[in-house]
Structure 1
Amino acid sequence: MSSPAEFYNSLPPITKAYGTICFLTTAVLQLGILTPYHIALLYPLILKNLQIWRLIAPFFFLGKFSINFGIRLLMIARYGVQLEKGPFDKRTADFLWMMILGAVSLLGLSAIPYLWSPFLGTSMVSMLVYLWSREFPNAQINIYGLVNMKAFYFPWVMLALDMIFGSPLLPNLLGIVVGHLYYFFSVLYPLKTGRNPLKTPFWLQRLVVQWRLGAQRTAGAGPTVRDNTSTGTGAFRGRAYRLDR
């Protein structure tokens, strides 16, 4: 069995960065350096006082250290990693673009008074789980060692468990809605029409390639970088994007 350090180093870059920032955010709040109020999504303070960080920070708060926090972090480590290493393999820019689109969509929905949520980390995890359940619909999920089911139904079971345990339904529901919208417009719609309205922009592709080049040079590796980008002609299938120097 690999050590925790080896497991951490083996994680794909976007999932590793997101999970790490989520952990550090909770640690900072737990130590009392900041309070949840300082990072909550409060549109009046964003508009009046230009507290722009409130548009970003809420996505990295999964709650205080608790069993629920641990479960959400494990979901990132399992389902986010399986997405990034599976359908998004060698498509780092596409995976990052998916996260960005999800964040923007959640911010838009939260601007509606009845759909407002101060923290969107749980919603982002729910979105990842929903997309995973659509990409691996026949995978088997075990719920508390009691019930086995197909992954396709897992997001709805999470919603039902929230209801049973008295947790807020809105965060997971928002994640499911945004995940379904992304899946429809990036997979189902392109399969039918051959057009992908959510295609990753070229500037982000270039940014990711340059970042990977820099990381390889720092590590002493060669300068060849290969990354795939979506063409919108299939379910998370892409073409090669290559930069050789």
Structure 2
Amino acid sequence: MKKLLLIALMGIALSPAFSQKAKDNTLTKKETNQHWKLLFDGLTTTGWINGDGSQVTAAPGGWVIADGALTLKKDAKGGDIYTADEYGDFEFSADFNIEPGTNTGIKYFYYKYDKGGNLGCEFQIIDDVLGEDNKQANHLLGSLYDVLPPVEANKKVNPPGKWNTIRIVAKGKNVQHWVNGVKVLEYTRGSKEYLDGVAKSKFSKVEPVFGMVDKGRIQLQDHHGPVAFKNIKVRVL
């Protein structure tokens, strides 16, 4: 009898009502107290803008909301979308799910440069196995695209079709890239390593120096590959 009671109590403790994990696209009480802000509520595109500043509208053939995720289907033409606000010191988190071969990314410190146009530092999201742009280490998942590679030995990535969680932490000149709770890249903007990486990249002629801006928008990239995002959130540090 005692054994049955213990099993029953364990079942209650493990039930959703007692779980500390929030439902998708919501914040836990702890996250709310830590001043996290949802950037996607699972129902609307509120807070996201197009390149021309207009409000993003979910529509067939573009960005759609499917099963609680902000989604681009194969061959969709939704265009890149951006947060309405700019961020300097921040922590960003999102879950993503891609299909085999997808190549996309999330850009931060997105800014209009005096020379080079509109650019951002890109947390590369790609199928490392089948993605077409997988030949360089600094083009693989978790890299600062075309500038710095991730630490491959640290990466624990679920395959296409499964969800992964990324995190970007930017404080002062220090930036960290995380995948599924593991830090895969840390760099200091303006350091020799960083500047050497920029000098060898396609951003070498950008002015002012690429990635050295104080703040910018966050961008979800439309790179013509299927991708879905959920649990998109940010907090100012």
Q: Same fold (TM over 0.5)?
A: no
Larger proportion of helix: 1
Q: What TM-score results when the alignment is normalised by the length of structure 2?
A: 0.30
Larger relative contact order, structure 1 or 2 (CA cutoff 8 Å, min sep 6) = 2
Larger proportion of strand: 2
Q: What TM-score results when the alignment is normalised by the length of structure 1?
A: 0.29
